[in-house]
Amino acid sequence: MCDSFDLMFNLDQLIPVEEASEQFEFECKVSLKTGQVNYADMLTLKSPITGAGFKMMPCLDKEKKFLVGFRVSMNVPACVIGNNAFVHVLPYEAAKIAMLLLKHYLKNIGVSRKSLTLISLSNAVIRFVDFTYLLKCLDIDDAVLKRNELEDRINALYHYLSTSYRQHVGEDAGRTVYLKIRNHPYVRAYVKYKDIKEKKKYGCEVDVDYLDRATKEKIYELSQRGLRIELCVNGAYLEKLEPGMSRVTAWKDKAKADDVIGKVFEHFRSMLRFGDNLRHNKHRPNDLAKFDQKTQDFLKLYYVGAEGSYVEGLTKSQRYELKKKILKVARIDPTIPWGKHKQLKAWKWCVQPSMPKISKKYPDLLPHVFNMENMPIFYEKIIQAEVNKFNVKNNGGTSDISDLMGDAHVDEKEKTIKSKPYRGFGSLNIPNISNLTDD
């Protein structure tokens, strides 16, 4: 996917705090000493579709005088299908769903149509986003094996880091491997073979009691056959990678989106140093003899773990030159002990996977994939939740929900239509999803 998402919906105009708190029905914390506004509360809300939790916070400017927008943290698949086992990387579409659910909540508490129109995708920016890649494996045992290989490689390459930066949580098949390095994607790797009831980084629930047990078992039967790699990046990272990509609307360009998705995964591969083709076997005597004498002497010490005193006697620049030379001529990084270096074998399986597809042999699972094909279904679920919430039983009409989708104003006469069995978009007389102008 986009799996977990942290977005900022900037308003089209700044609104004074006192006016905004009435307009959008939120409260602010006020300092007892100064009487000045400090901040607005972050709220935990529930998806009207699955019951999954997500966070919303009104955001104020630095002087705490104006409302500038709304921050939303959400696991989007969990909010529309109650599971995130099979997700495509779709930041624009995921942001659209987040916006609709935000507007659904605001409308529920009485926010006017005019106020809702101030929120759109055109000014939305990405604060944090998870890119999810599912590497296909033979079965759960193969997936666990690959996760273990990944963990071993991380521990070998980053042995000098505190375990808090390369920790793991859980045991056996349920272990999740982490790698956190500044200015790089935040890495999580695990096998999704069951519900995970813990809350993730942004406080967003992932697995909720929305699907029946039989459906979940079928989902996990397939998802456990893959190694799931989640790469979390922030808006600043996206801007550096490709200017403009922190803006949600930039992700409408599929070619540009695919390019960035690929670059993020290649960055992950570079963190594991696959491009360096590091050596994992000792040089044989006849190969060692091809190097100059200083290189031979160093490698002989290195292979027996006795290079420490030699390296300590070098200056910082000399160590850099040594590393550069040995890496070039011998494919050895002398900063990694040989006992760990020899674990760094070449992998053929760690390549960017295609987005997950469910075989037609499992037709009942096709609606449970977060992909473009199912997007109309997800939008319709939100519309249906709106219809169920605002159905006016007394006069047989339904509430106008076009404000959530960004449509044009609907006259009062158009609002009161005779109640009919729900048949999807046609029965609500709203435009096709593909034609909606939401940004």
Query: Comparing C-alpha atoms, which of 82, 101, 48, 53 is closest to residue 205?
Result: 53
Confidence check: pLDDT of 402 > 60? no
Q: Give 70-90 pLDDT, tens digit per residue.
A: 999 999 999 999 999 999 999
Q: Give 101-146 pLDDT, tens digit per residue.
A: 999 999 999 999 999 999 999 999 999 999 999 999 999 999 999 9
pLDDT of residue 405: 57
Angle at 17 between CA 14 and CA 22, to 5 degrees: 105
pLDDT of residue 339: 93
Angle between helices 293-303 and 316-330 (to 10 degrees): 90
Provide the CB-side half-sphere exposure for 395 (13 A, CA). 9
Mean pLDDT, the chain, as a whole number? 86
Report the range of poorest mean pLDDT among 68-72, 199-203, 347-351, 366-370. 199-203
pLDDT of residue 406: 54
pLDDT of residue 140: 97
Confidence check: pLDDT of 181 > 90? yes
Mean predicted confidence (pLDDT) in 185-211: 75
Mean predicted confidence (pLDDT) in 41-50: 93
What is the 3-state composition of the chain as percent helix, strand, coil, each rounded to the nearest 5?
A: 40, 20, 40
- Specify whether the CB–CB gap between 336 and 301 falls below 8 A: no
Concatenating the DSSP letter of every residue in 98-149 gives HHHHHHHHHHHTT--HHHHTT--GGGEEEEEEEEEEEEE-SSHHHHHHHHHH
Tell the residue number behind the tokens 């490698």, with chain if given: 299
Mean predicted confidence (pLDDT) in 227-243: 97
Confidence check: pLDDT of 363 > 60? yes
Confidence check: pLDDT of 333 > 90? yes
Mean predicted confidence (pLDDT) in 358-380: 94
Angle between helices 375-390 and 91-108 (to 10 degrees): 0
Question: Who contacts 146 (Cβ-Cβ below 8 Å, separation ≥6)?
Answer: 135, 137, 227, 349
Mean predicted confidence (pLDDT) in 406-433: 37
The dihedral built from the CA positions of residue 87, 93, 98 and 104, taken in this order, carries a sign that is negative
Report strand pairing: 37-40 vs 86-87: unpaired
Confidence check: pLDDT of 428 > 80? no
Look up residue 351 and give its two tokens: 């390549």
Phi-psi region of 43 (alpha: psi -120 to 50; beta: other; left: phi over 0): beta
Confidence check: pLDDT of 205 > 60? no
Distance, C-alpha 193 to centroid of its chain: 19
Concatenating the DSSP letter of every residue in 167-218 gives -EES-GGG-EEEE--TTSPEEEEE---S---S--TTS---S-TTS-HHHHHH
pLDDT of residue 407: 42
The dihedral built from the CA positions of residue 375, 378, 382 and 383, taken in this order, carries a sign that is positive
d(CA 328, CA 338): 17
pLDDT of residue 39: 83
Look up residue 249 and give its two tokens: 């609307």
Banded pLDDT at 387 (limits 50, 70, 90): confident
Distance, C-alpha 30 to centroid of its chain: 34
User: Across the strands, what pairs with 74?
Assistant: 5
pLDDT of residue 287: 92
pLDDT of residue 182: 93
Mean predicted confidence (pLDDT) in 300-326: 92
Provide the CB-side half-sphere exposure for 35 (13 A, CA). 0
pLDDT of residue 390: 56
pLDDT of residue 198: 57
pLDDT of residue 37: 86
Angle at 121 between CA 117 and CA 239, to 5 degrees: 150
User: Across the strands, what pairs with 369?
Assistant: 86
pLDDT of residue 249: 97
Report the range of poorest mean pLDDT among 131-145, 208-222, 264-278, 406-420. 406-420
Confidence check: pLDDT of 323 > 60? yes
pLDDT of residue 438: 60
pLDDT of residue 360: 87
Higher pLDDT pick, 2 / 340: 340
Query: Comparing C-alpha atoms, which of 8, 1, 66, 64 is closest to residue 36?
Result: 64
Supply the Cα-derived Rg of the chain in whole angstroms. Answer: 26
The structure's pTM equals 0.85
User: Across the strands, what pairs with 133?
Assistant: 229
Confidence check: pLDDT of 26 > 70? yes
CA separation, residue 374 to residues 26, 211, 215, 378, 432 (Å): 34, 17, 17, 7, 14
